Amino acid sequence: MVKRLITSTPNITPRNGHQTLTLTGLRFNANLGILDHEKTAPQPIQVDAELSLGLQPLAPHDDDITHVLDYRKVRQIIIDECTAEHVNLLESLIGKLATRLMQLPGVRGVRVKIAKLEIFDDCEVAIRVETGQW
């Protein structure tokens, strides 16, 4: 008996495809860190985020922003989540942000990278997390 493995992606047609919203290089200050100077003043960070939206039409049925995921709102959610309160660990902040982004309508997966830009004189430190379906 021979088993056949089907490798095609179901439901993809010439009119749709897998869509990912990407925001890169978003820089702002956040209250993050365990060092004394990090607890007294915000630190510059950079956030890169990818949101998997799953199978989407290649062209929306109309040109109305209310029928797609508004990237202005995604940008503001990232800033709000990262500046809402002081967080000691980068790991805590990235988990909080990924959880919040997964709650957006239509989001099936999230990849987030947060870099602390000035923690050391000679390098940046970053953490990346991936969750959901890709």
- Residue 8's pLDDT band, with cuts at 50, 70 and 90, is low
| Band of residue 2 on the pLDDT scale cut at 50, 70, 90 | low
* Percent of the chain residues past pLDDT 70, beyond the cut: 93
Neighbours of 33 (CB within 10 A): 22
pLDDT of residue 53: 95
Q: Which of 37-41, 47-51, 104-108 has the lowest mean pLDDT?
A: 37-41
| For residue 57, pLDDT beyond 60 | yes
Would you state the pLDDT for residue 9?
57
Length of the chain: 134
Stretch 26-52: mean pLDDT:
94
pLDDT in tens, 80-130: 999 999 999 999 999 999 999 999 999 999 999 999 999 888 999 999 999
Query: Based on the number of CB atoms within 10 Å of its own CB, is 122 exposed (0-12), middle (13-18) or buried (19 or more)?
Result: exposed
Q: Taking the CB of residue 32, how many other CB atoms lie within 10 A of it?
A: 23
pLDDT at 63: 79
Place of tokens 């490798």: 7
